[in-house]
């Protein structure tokens, strides 16, 4: 059973950044990458009620670095 999909609009600049990050991260498509990132952001909000494990934090940091929100020097 396929989930219903919705469309959102983003700037071309953001799309190009996401596309580059998607390509660099080895995802099959930009849609797969964007869904992964958004799910992680949502999960992170839920996890704020408990302390993250080191592995969870590393995975989030990896995703944010791929998006360009964290520089290599910040880690």
Distance between CA atoms of residues 17 and 6, nearest Å = 21
Domain boundaries, the chain: 29-74
39-54 pLDDT, tens digit per residue, is: 988 887 765 566 778 8
Q: Is the pTM of this model over 0.75?
A: no
Question: Tens digit of pLDDT per residue, the chain (75 long)?
Answer: 678 989 999 999 999 999 999 999 999 999 999 999 999 888 877 655 667 788 988 888 888 888 887 776 654
pLDDT at 50: 67
């Amino acid at each position: 059973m396929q989930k219903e999909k919705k469309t959102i609009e983003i700037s071309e600049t953001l799309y190009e950044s996401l596309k580059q990050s998607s390509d660099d991260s080895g995802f099959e498509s930009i849609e797969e990458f964007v869904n992964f990132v958004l799910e992680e952001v949502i999960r992170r909000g839920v996890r704020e009620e408990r302390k993250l494990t080191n592995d969870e934090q590393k995975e989030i940091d990896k995703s944010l670095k791929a998006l360009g929100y964290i520089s290599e020097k910040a880690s």
